[in-house]
Amino acid sequence: MSAETTERTRRTARDRRTARRHGRPTLLGRGAVNALVGLSVLYTLLPVLWLLLASTKNRDALFRSDLFSSGDFSLARNLSDLFAMEGGIYGRWYVNSLLYAVLGAAIGAMVSVACGYAFDKYRFRHKEKLFGLVLAGVMVPPTVLALPLYLIASKTGLVNTFWSVFIPVLFNPFGVYLGRVFSQGYVPGEVLEAARVDGAGELTTYFRVALRMLGPGLVTVFLFQLTAIWNNFFLPMVMLSDQSLFPVSLGLYVWNSSAVVTPDYYPPVIAGSLLAVLPLIAAFVLLQRYWKSGLTAGSVK
Amino acid sequence: MSSTDSTAPVPGRPPGPARPAAAGPQTAHPPGASGAVPADRPGARTRRWARRRRLGACAALMGPFFVLLVAVFLVPVCAAVWLSFFSDDQPGLGFGPERTVFAGLRNFEAALTDPTFLSGLGTAALYCVVYIPLMVLCALALALLLDSGAVRLRRTAQLSLFLPHAVPGIIAAIIWLYLYTPGLSPVIDLLHHADVRVDFLGVRMVLPSIVNIAMWSNLGYNVVIFYAALQAVPREVTEAAVVDGAGPVRTALSVKVPLVRGSAVMVTMFTLIWSLQLFTEPMLLSQATPVVGSRYTPNMYIYDAAFTRNNYGLAAAASVVLLVVTIALSYGLSRWSNRTADTSEGDSGER
């Protein structure tokens, strides 16, 4: 059997080599392909580069829009202005965003992956109907829920509190879906059987054995939920009126509306945007391996 | 694998079909091995005990999520539907209106005959018609190019394309707003030098400008999805096409594309759902240009109705209309794609 397999792999490898030789685009074609991809990369990178350069300019240089003159490099001043503006409220916003996003994504990912795991490994009546309800949650975008949530929160006195933003963002039905897919892929049933035979409790098995195998999936769900919460704008806008509870996104929105009237606000908005973008970019670059597998799992299945 | 079968669903804790003598703990932290159960008919007893334990564990694992689902999904959806049938007698009094009266379908009538709501729906529809095909085609084309094997630095390119996804929507909108603003924008300066004058925030250009922001933000994300699906296409299939003499373009269009139509449907569906919710970008642009009014899209209309006009009934009715439209369109899309998948043989290679 193994001889046959090696023979087959050898043959497919050879076929593949010849196929690649024939299927390869011509030199001209390859140039065009690279040019197109290169242009798209420029399209996505240049605005971020502009943000980077613009945050080193003071107000006057910004409006002269000579981005590459190195004469007035005022990144440090812009940053100190940013944190001094309106009594240093930007720092507060940043901490709020971190709290909402990191804490929310950590708890939300745990909750949804546990649920997805249970959907995969246990059988009970009406399971697929229940899962259909979860998928309905994926289909209904959070913005539709924001207004009714506001009304409920105002009835229960939660409106304009930390919890009014924090609790709704924990809900991540797509995480349940991913959790189920990952559980199918990463946690073999035999392992659970073995743990049961050894007399380990179900929850102990989950936390000691399965969760470790689900690690990469958990990171993926965490990362996407982190992004979603960090990007969240509509819900905080609806729920919060106290500026000291704002996340960065809402704070920058408010400052931007002032910038239209007072151009002094432009440099802090730009520097503030840059700082708000950095942690996510860092997370995505460092955790590439995970989110790519997450997207693959989400799309192929 | 052997698991508990056919017992009631989770969170509310099921009434077990057979009732074991011991009122066992629901969330299982079972004391030691299941063999510890007394020994009259040990087999059945143990099995029943194990089943209860498993169900308990299952409930414990699913419970937190379903509590959230009820609290922030089911209840709000029901509340929105409920509210849309009521209206306040004294609007504008702040929270907790004094008198709420049953209004029947009046709120729906008010929303659906309001020209600003209808024009908002029109804007959303136009946006979808421009944005969705553009997005799906560009993302698919780029993924095919990346998959063609001709691209240098493929992973770097992919990562760079994906980068804007890490930029929060509001910040993407801020960046592009500044790039659209004369005086701030190097783009406008460059065009100016070439004697081209474009008012990105004018009546004609504002919708394409918004489409551009959304393209920039989401293109790379969808490219990665398509690319992942293309990577899953069995190499034998494409190689067979090449051996049969198909060129790279032909292989891409008539072999690879049909095989990733599942992903295409998914991308289309999610893009559609999110497009109908258009809010962040126009909301930000409305600060800078009078062309974008405060009720430019359905979601902005809802926000305006609720928080500027304090008419919660109207806002709830508009939310329900938007929700129904969203569900109807995505349901229709999935039905349509299933039907065409059944009739077309192009899908046979998948799975």
- The 3-state secondary structure of chain B reads CCCCCCCCCCCCCCCCCCCCCCCCCCCCCCCCCHHHCCCCCHHHHHHHHHHHHHHHHHHHHHHHHHHHHHHHHHHHHHHHHHHCCEEECCCCCCCCCCCEEECCCHHHHHHHHCHHHHHHHHHHHHHHHHHHHHHHHHHHHHHHHHHCCCCCCHHHHHHHHHHHHHCCHHHHHHHHHHHHCCCCCHHHHHHHHCCCCCCCCCCCCHHHHHHHHHHHHHHHHHHHHHHHHHHCCCHHHHHHHHHCCCCHHHHHHHHHHHHCHHHHHHHHHHHHHHHHCCCHHHHHHCCCCCCCCCCCCHHHHHHHHHHCCCCHHHHHHHHHHHHHHHHHHHHHHHHHHHHHHHHCHHHHHCC
Q: Quick one: pLDDT at residue B20?
A: 38
* pLDDT surpassing 80 at residue A17: no
pLDDT, tens digit, for every residue of B184-214?
777 777 777 777 777 777 777 888 889 999 9
Q: Name the range with the highest mean pLDDT among A145-149, A218-222, B128-132.
A: B128-132
CB contact under 8 A, B68 and A111: yes
Q: Quick one: pLDDT at residue B23?
A: 37
Q: Does A47 touch chain B (CB under 8 A)?
A: yes
Give, rounded to a whole angstrom, the gap between the first and last alpha carbons of chain A: 30
Q: Quick one: pLDDT at residue A72?
A: 64
Q: What is the mean pLDDT of residues B294-308?
A: 86
Q: Which residues in chain B are contacts of A36 at CB distance < 8 A?
A: 142, 145
Q: What is the mean pLDDT of residues A266-272?
A: 82
- CA separation for the pair B100, A154 (Å, rounded): 16
* pLDDT surpassing 90 at residue B130: yes
DSSP codes, A129-164: HHHHHHHHHHHS-HHHHHHHHHHHHHHTT-TTSHHH
Q: Is the pTM of this model over 0.80?
A: no
Q: Which residues in chain A are contacts of B330 at CB distance < 8 A?
A: 139
The CB density around residue B260, as the number of other CB atoms within 10 Å, is 27
ipTM over 0.85: no
Q: pLDDT band at B6, cuts 50/70/90? A: very low
* pLDDT surpassing 80 at residue A279: yes
CB contact under 8 A, A22 and B243: yes
Higher per-residue pLDDT: A21 or B89:
B89
Closest-CA distance of chain A to residue B118, Å? 18
Higher per-residue pLDDT: A291 or A192:
A192
The structural domains of chain A, with segments of one domain joined by +, span 1-46, 88-300
Q: Quick one: pLDDT at residue B10?
A: 36
Please provide the average confidence, as pLDDT, over all residues in chain B.
Answer: 76
pLDDT, tens digit, for every residue of B13-49?
333 333 333 333 333 334 333 434 444 556 777 777 7
pLDDT, tens digit, for every residue of B58-106?
888 888 889 988 888 888 888 888 888 877 655 454 555 556 777 777 8
The residue behind tokens 């806002």 is B315
- CA separation for the pair A100, A235 (Å, rounded): 12
- Closest residue on chain A to B59 (Cα): A118
* pLDDT surpassing 50 at residue A165: yes
pLDDT, tens digit, for every residue of A174-192?
888 888 888 887 888 888 8
Q: Which of A28, A34, A40 to mutate to test the interface with B (most CBs of B within 10 A)?
A: A40
pLDDT, tens digit, for every residue of A92-113?
888 998 899 899 999 999 999 9
Closest-CA distance of chain B to residue A138, Å? 9
Does residue A275 sit in helix, strand or coil?
helix
Q: Name the range with the highest mean pLDDT among A40-49, A180-189, A194-203.
A: A40-49
* pLDDT surpassing 80 at residue A151: yes
Which residue, among A65, A244, A46, A245, has the nearest Cα to B167 in the 3D structure? A46
Helices A2-23, B235-243: inter-axial angle, 10-degree rounding: 50
Q: Which long-range contacts (CB under 8 A, 24 or more apart) does B296-302 make?
A: B296/B120, B296/B123, B297/B120, B297/B123, B297/B124, B297/B127, B298/B117, B298/B120, B298/B121, B298/B124, B298/B322, B299/A143, B299/A234, B300/B120, B301/B116, B301/B117, B301/B120, B302/A147
Q: Which residues in chain B are contacts of A147 at CB distance < 8 A?
A: 80, 302-303, 306, 312, 315-316, 319
**Of A22-26, A155-159, B282-286, minimum mean pLDDT range:** A22-26
Which residue, among B287, B280, B20, B9, has the nearest Cα to B168 in the 3D structure? B280
CATH of domain A88-300: 1.10.3720.10
Please, what are the domains in chain B? 107-349 (1.10.3720.10)
* pLDDT surpassing 50 at residue B1: no
Closest-CA distance of chain B to residue A192, Å? 9
Q: Which residues in chain A are contacts of B32 at CB distance < 8 A?
A: 199
CB contact under 8 A, B83 and A193: no
